[in-house]
Amino acid sequence: MTGGGIEYVGEADYVIVGSGSAGSALAARLSEDGTRSVMVIEYGGTDAGPLIQMPGALSYPMNMSRYDWGYQSEPEPHLGGRRLAAPRGKVIGGSSSINGMVYVRGHARDYDTWEEMGANGWAYADVLPYFRRMESWHSGGHGGDADWRGKDGPLHVTRGPRANPLFRAFVEAGGQAGYELTDDYNGEKQEGFGPMEQTVWKGRRWSAAKAYLKPALRRPNCAVTRGLARRIVIENGRATGVEVSRGGRLEILRARREVIVCASAFNSPKLLMLSGIGPGAHLAGHGIPVVADRPGVGQNLQDHLELYIQQACTQPITLYKHWNLVSKALIGAQWLLTGTGLGASNQFESAAFIRSRPGVEYPDIQYHFLPFAVRYDGKAAAEGHGFQAHVGPMRSPSRGAVTLRSADPEEAPEIRFNYMSAAQDWEDFRTCIRLTREIFGQEAFAPFRGKEIQPGAHVQSDDELDGFIREHVESAYHPCGTVRMGRASDPMSVVDPEARVIGVDGLRVADSSIFPRITNGNLNAPSILVGEKVADHILGRQPLARENVQPWINPRWQVAQR
For 96, counting Cβ atoms within 10 Å of its Cβ (0-12 exposed, 13-18 middle, 19+ buried), the class is buried
Alpha helices in 415-523 (DSSP H): 423-440, 462-472
Quote the distance between the C-alpha of residue 157 and its chain's center.
Answer: 15
**Would the pTM count as exceeding 0.75?**
yes
* Per-position pLDDT tens, the chain of length 562: 444 567 767 899 999 999 999 999 999 999 999 999 999 999 999 999 899 999 999 989 988 999 999 999 999 999 999 999 999 999 999 999 999 999 999 999 999 999 999 999 999 999 999 999 999 999 877 778 899 999 999 999 999 999 999 999 999 999 999 999 999 999 999 999 999 999 999 999 999 999 999 999 999 999 999 999 999 999 999 999 999 999 889 999 999 999 999 999 999 999 999 999 999 999 999 999 999 999 999 999 999 999 999 999 999 999 999 988 999 999 999 999 999 999 999 999 999 999 999 999 999 999 999 999 987 666 666 678 999 999 999 999 999 999 999 999 999 999 999 999 999 999 999 999 999 999 999 999 999 999 999 999 999 999 999 999 999 999 999 999 999 999 999 999 999 999 999 999 999 999 999 999 999 999 999 999 999 999 999 999 999 999 999 999 999 999 999 9
- Beta strands 2-3 and 6-17, pairing class: antiparallel
Question: Would you say 432 and 390 are in contact if contact means Cβ atoms under 8 Å apart?
Answer: no
- Mapping DSSP to helix (H, G, I), strand (E, B) and coil, where does residue 42 land? strand
Residue 185 lies in a domain: yes
> Is residue 35 classed exposed, middle or buried when 0-12, 13-18 and 19+ CB atoms within 10 A define those classes?
exposed
User: If you write DSSP's letter for every residue of 503-542 in order, what string do you get?
Assistant: T-BTEEE-SGGG-SS--SS-SHHHHHHHHHHHHHHHTTPP
Query: 181 in a domain, yes or no?
Result: yes
- What is the C-alpha to C-alpha distance for residues 537 and 408, in angstroms, rounded to an integer? 33
Q: CATH number of the domain at 335, please.
A: 3.30.410.40
User: Phi/psi at 233 (nearest 5 deg)?
Assistant: -80, 120
Q: Which of 156, 385, 390, 478 is catalytic?
A: 478
Pair 397, 422: CB distance under 8 Å? yes
Task: Write a three-state SS string for 81-136.
Answer: CECCEECCECECCHHHHCCCCECCCCCHHHHHHHHHCCCCCCCHHHHHHHHHHHEE
Q: Is residue 355 part of a domain?
A: yes
Show the domain range for 322.
161-195+305-393+421-472
What's the rounded Cα separation, in Å, for the pair 514 and 263?
11
Residue 459 resides in a domain:
yes
How many angstroms separate the CA atoms of 44 and 56, rounded? 22
Please tell me the distance from the alpha carbon of residue 379 to that of residue 358, in angstroms, as a whole number: 37
Which residue in 269, 286, 267 sits closest to 277, CA to CA? 269
Binding residues, by number, are 13-42, 91, 99-102
The count of domains in the chain is 1
Residues facing 392 on adjacent strands: 366
Q: Is residue 387 part of a domain?
A: yes
Catalytic-residue membership of 478: yes
How far is residue 259's CA from residue 346's CA, in Å, rounded to a whole number? 35
Identify whether 449 is part of a domain.
Answer: yes
Binding residues for FAD: 13-42, 91, 99-102
Q: Are strands 449-454 and 474-475 parallel, antiparallel or unpaired?
A: unpaired
Examine residue 256 and state whether it is found in any structural domain, yes or no. Answer: no
The amino acid occupying position 446 is A
Q: Is 188 helix (H, G, I), strand (E, B) or coil?
A: coil
Residue 203 half-sphere exposure, CB side, CA atoms within 13 Å?
A: 14
How far is the C-alpha of 132 from the C-alpha of 325, rounded, in Å? 41
Question: Is 447 among the domain residues?
Answer: yes
